[in-house]
Amino acid sequence: MVRALALTLLAAAGPALADDEDAAALALADKAPTVAEHARDWRVSMQAAARESGQRSGNAADDAEFLALDMHYDRTFARNWRAVFADRLDLSWQRRLSNENTVNTLKDAYLSWQPQPDRIADLGRINTRYGVASGYNPTDYFRAGAIRSIVSIDPASLRENRLGSVMLRGQTLWSDGSLTGLYSPKLADRPNDGAFDPDVGATNHKNRWLIAASQRLSDSFNPQWLFSGEQGRAPQLGLNLTTLLNDATVAYFEWSGGRSPSLVSQALNRADDTAFRNRLASGLTYTTASKLSLTLEYEFNGAGLDRDGWNALRQGSPPAYLQYRTFVQTLQDLPTKQNAFLYVKWQDAFVIHFDLSAFERFDVVDHSHLSWLEARYHWNHVDLAWQWQLNSGDAGSQYGALPQRQIWQALITYFF
C-alpha cells in the first residue's frame, strides 16, 4: 500500500521533474559558448615514450626512450588537384647500448587529380591498404617491407606507421561500386637503412600491380574483389566481405589465394614448392550498449609452417630459424599456419575519456601467446597511455622466442 502510494506520487511528480530537468538543460545550453572550428589541411602530433622491459634469462635489458613527430598534410591546391604528404620521425635512445637511433618514415607523398567527380588519378608514394580483418590482413598486398620502425605492436599502429609504395593509381566510380587499378614499378634493388633515406628499395624492389573492384549489392553486402601480382610470382586473388548480423554485430571475411611457394622455401632458398595456397582472416565484432567492443578473429596462413615443420625448424639450425623469423616479420606475415586474435576495447571505462584496450594473439600451432593491455586517458589535445605486453610460450615458439618477457611503456601524445 505504502509502495503503491509512493509509486503513484512518483508518477505524478514525473512530468514536473522532467520539466525542471529540461529547463535546467536549456538554461545550460543558453550559456554554451560559441565555438568556431575550422577544417585544417594539416594534422601534427608529437609523442614521447619510455619503455622498460623484463628480459628472459641471458638477454640484456633494452630499456629505451622515444620521441616521435608525426605529420599529415592534405591540401587542395588548385581546382581538381590535391597534394598529400604524411611523414613520421622516430628518435630512440637505448640505455644499455648508449645508442641513439633516428628513423624517418615517409608514409605518403603524392599528387591526386580528379578531372571528374567519378575519375581520379594519383601519382607518388601512397600507403595503399586493403583488408577488413583486424589482426591479420592477407589482402594487404603492399604491407611487405613497409615498416621501418615499430612504434607499438598494436595492429592499428602497425598499419599507420609504415612506408607507402611509389605508384600510379587510377580509380573510376559508379553508383555503389568502383574499380581501381595501380602499378608500382621497381625503382631500387634493396632497402636502405639511412635515417632519412626515403627507402624506396624497401617497397619498390619489384614491379607490382593490383586491380580492385567492389559493388554494393545491398545494405548488408558489399564485396570487394582484388587481383594482384608481382614480378616472378603468380597472381593472387583476394576477397573482402563484411556483413551486419544485427544492430551490434559485424562479421567479416578476408581471403587471398593463389599459387605461391611456402614462406620457409622462400626464406631459406629451399626447393620450389609452389602450390595453390590460401590465406584468410575471419571474425566478428560485437559492441555492447556499455561501450565495450569485442573482436574475435581466426587467422589461417597456408604458406606458413604446420606443427611438424615448425617443430623441425625450431629444433634445427639457429641461423635458419632466425632467418625465417626475420623474413616473415619483414613480410608482416604469420610464421605458423593457424592463429587466433581477440581484441577488446572499452570506451569510457569507469570514467569518461578513459579507454581500456587489450588484445591477445594465440598461436594455435605452438600454443604461445602475446597479451597486450593499454589504459589511455585523453584530454582535448593530450593523450596519456600506459601499455603492458607479456610474451608467453616455450623456447623457439612464436611469442616465447621474443627476448623480452614483459614490456611496460608509458606514452604521452600532444595533438597540435
Partner 1 sequence: MLALAGIAHTAPSAQDILAASDAIRNPGKPFGLTVTLLEYRNGKQSDSDALTVYSKADTNSGQFRSLIRFVAPARDANKLMLKNGNDLWFYDPSSKASIRISPQQRLLGQAANGDVVTVNLAKDYKADLLAEEDTQDGERQLRHCYKLALVATSVDVTYHHIEMWIDTGNSRPVKARFYSESGHHLKTAYYRHYQTELGVERPTETVIIDGLNPNWVTVMRYSNYAWRDVPDTWLQRDYLPRFKPE
Q: What angle do CA 256, 261, 267 make, to 5 degrees?
A: 110
Q: Report how many residues bind partner 1 under the rule CB under 8 A.
A: 74
Site for partner 1 in 227-256 (CB under 8 A): 242, 244, 246-250, 252
Q: What is the 3-state secondary structure (H, E, C) of the chain?
A: CHHHHHHHHHHHHHHHHHHHHHHHHHHHHHCCCCCCCCCCCEEEEEEEEEEEEEECCCCCCCCEEEEEEEEEEEEEEECCEEEEEEEEEEEEEECCCCEEEEEEEEEEEEEEEEEECCEEEEEEEECCCCCCCCCCCCCCCCCCCCCCCCCCCCHHHHHHCCCCEEEEEEEEEECCEEEEEEEECCCCCCCCCCCCCCCHHHHCCCCEEEEEEEECCECCECCEEEEEEECCCCCEEEEEEEEEEECCEEEEEEEEEEEECCHHHHHCCCCCCCEEEEEEEEEEEEECCCCEEEEEEEEEECCCECHHHHHHHHHCCHHHHHHHHHHHHHHCCCCECEEEEEEEEECCCCCCCEEEEEEEEEECCCCCEEEEEEEEEECCCEEEEEEEEEEECCCCCCCCCCCEEEEEEEEEEEEC
Q: Smaller CB distance to partner 1: residue 276 or 414?
A: 414
Which range in 35-43, 225-233, 320-328, 361-369 contacts partner 1 by CB under 8 A? 35-43
Binder among 55, 171, 207, 330 for partner 1 (CB under 8 A): 171
Q: Smaller CB distance to partner 1: residue 276 or 386?
A: 386
Binder among 1, 2, 37, 319 for partner 1 (CB under 8 A): 37
Binder among 7, 40, 306, 322 for partner 1 (CB under 8 A): 40
Provide the minimum distance between the beta carbon of 284 and partner 1 in the complex, in angstroms, as a whole number: 10
Q: Smaller CB distance to partner 1: residue 100 or 247?
A: 247
Provide the minimum distance between the beta carbon of 33 and partner 1 in the complex, in angstroms, as a whole number: 8
Q: Smaller CB distance to partner 1: residue 193 or 219?
A: 219
Instruction: Note whether 118 binds partner 1 by CB under 8 A.
Output: yes
Tell me the residue length of the chain. 416
Contacts of 297 (CB under 8 A, 6+ apart): 133, 134, 135, 136, 281, 282, 283, 340, 341, 342, 343
Provide the minimum distance between the beta carbon of 309 and partner 1 in the complex, in angstroms, as a whole number: 32
Which range in 364-372, 376-384, 391-399, 404-412 contacts partner 1 by CB under 8 A? 376-384
Provide the minimum distance between the beta carbon of 84 and partner 1 in the complex, in angstroms, as a whole number: 9
Burial class (CB within 10 angstroms; exposed 0-12, middle 13-18, buried 19+) of 126: buried
Q: Smaller CB distance to partner 1: residue 298 or 346?
A: 346
Q: Smaller CB distance to partner 1: residue 188 or 294?
A: 294
- x/- site string to partner 1, residues 189 to 228, per CB under 8 A? -------------------------x-x--xx-x------
Phi, psi at 343, each rounded to 5°: -130, 130
Provide the minimum distance between the beta carbon of 17 and partner 1 in the complex, in angstroms, as a whole number: 9
Instruction: Note whether 114 binds partner 1 by CB under 8 A.
Output: yes
- x/- site string to partner 1, residues 385 to 404, per CB under 8 A? --------------------
Binder among 117, 232, 318, 319 for partner 1 (CB under 8 A): 117
Asked whether the beta carbons of 412 and 383 are under 8 A apart, the reply is yes
Q: Smaller CB distance to partner 1: residue 327 or 346?
A: 346
Burial class (CB within 10 angstroms; exposed 0-12, middle 13-18, buried 19+) of 141: buried
Provide the minimum distance between the beta carbon of 176 and partner 1 in the complex, in angstroms, as a whole number: 6
Which range in 39-47, 93-101, 200-208, 387-395 contacts partner 1 by CB under 8 A? 39-47
Site for partner 1 in 340-369 (CB under 8 A): 347, 352-353
Retrieve residue 415's grid coordinates: 595533438
Q: Smaller CB distance to partner 1: residue 181 or 309?
A: 181
Instruction: Note whether 26 binds partner 1 by CB under 8 A.
Output: yes
Site for partner 1 in 255-314 (CB under 8 A): 285, 287-289, 291, 293
Q: Smaller CB distance to partner 1: residue 177 or 309?
A: 177
Q: Smaller CB distance to partner 1: residue 122 or 363?
A: 122
Q: Smaller CB distance to partner 1: residue 128 or 256?
A: 128
